[in-house]
């Protein structure tokens, strides 16, 4: 069950994401923002609401940030469009693992706005970090919650949604043909978007994994939220 309320908005270049890759300074600043969330009550509140939702007796939470900050990649809209046929993935956001101190973990998403790096999402689904920690070039096709590893000219699936989409694997050119056929007419500025029919993207994902809103303002950084004024799906703030 997805606890999401989805709205569509169009954002300009650089508001929530960066093209290309992030620098070492970006990694440090993103981690600092995540660490701040351990002391300002944001992560504590998130984990407590997660426990409440699961019906778990309230426990003392002492959240910490663990492991490295990872640059998360997502499907490149220019690859979908066909203007960058050899570049299937582009930088989406940073993510780092958080531990509650009681056995629960979360993925903390960070994005850069005019104020610098800030926490934009927290989710109990840590799948993306598990894949990133395995190394290699890992990226997400957010409309179906599919995760892939890119190696040379080969794209291999990492989860069930990806296997359902590409079987045991696919060439980069074959994958480009697939996503162009699937999403090429749905990019920002398209007739599809202009008609206001953005609800047909399968935003619930395809793997059954949950991304929960426990009273923290969340922003989902999917394909249509990539740099260049594409459409972003925002999760509305829900009062705790």
* pTM given for the model: 0.73
3-class DSSP assignment, residue 11: coil
Report if residue 1 sits inside a domain.
no
**What's the order of all strands across the beta sheet hosting 231-235?**
6-10, 231-235, 218-220
What is the count of structural domains for the chain?
A: 1
- Residue 160 in domain: yes
Q: Is residue 116 part of a domain?
A: yes
Angstrom CA distances, 181 to 89, 177, 216, stand at 17, 6, 35
pLDDT in tens, the chain (240 residues): 333 322 222 222 233 333 456 788 999 999 999 999 999 999 999 999 888 887 777 678 899 999 999 999 999 999 999 999 999 999 999 999 999 998 899 999 999 988 899 999 999 999 999 999 999 999 999 999 999 999 999 999 999 999 999 999 999 999 999 999 999 888 866 554 555 554 433 333 333 344 444 433 333 333 333 333 333 323 333 333
Q: CA-to-CA distance for 173 and 53, rounded, in angstroms?
A: 43
In a domain, 165, yes or no: yes
- Comparing C-alpha atoms, which of 61, 151, 60 is closest to residue 98? 61
Residues 89 and 149: their CA atoms lie apart, in Å, by 10
Beta-strand pair 89-99/64-75: antiparallel
HSE-CB for 37 with a 13 A CA cutoff: 32
- Residue 30 within a domain: yes
Domain that holds residue 22: 6-235
């Amino acid at each position: 069950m997805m606890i999401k309320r989805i709205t569509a908005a169009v954002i300009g270049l650089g508001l929530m994401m960066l093209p290309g890759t992030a620098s070492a300074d970006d990694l440090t600043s993103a981690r600092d923002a995540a660490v701040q969330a351990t002391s300002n009550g944001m992560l504590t509140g998130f984990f407590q609401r997660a426990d409440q939702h699961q019906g778990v007796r309230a426990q003392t939470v002492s959240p910490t940030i663990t492991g490295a900050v990872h640059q998360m990649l997502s499907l490149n809209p220019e690859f979908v469009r066909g203007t960058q046929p050899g570049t299937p993935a582009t930088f989406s956001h940073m993510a780092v693992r958080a531990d509650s101190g009681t056995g629960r973990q979360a993925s903390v998403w960070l994005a850069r706005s005019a104020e610098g790096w800030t926490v934009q999402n927290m989710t109990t689904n840590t799948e993306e970090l598990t894949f990133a920690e395995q190394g290699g070039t890992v990226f997400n096709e957010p409309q179906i919650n599919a995760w892939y590893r890119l190696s040379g000219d080969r794209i291999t699936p990492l989860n069930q949604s990806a296997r359902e989409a590409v079987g045991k694997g696919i060439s980069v050119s074959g994958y480009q043909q697939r996503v162009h056929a699937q999403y090429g007419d749905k990019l920002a500025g398209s007739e599809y978007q202009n008609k206001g029919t953005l609800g047909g993207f399968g935003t619930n994902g395809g793997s059954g994994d949950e991304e929960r809103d426990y009273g923290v303002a969340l922003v989902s950084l999917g394909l249509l939220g990539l740099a260049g004024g594409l459409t972003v799906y925002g999760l509305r703030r829900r009062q705790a």
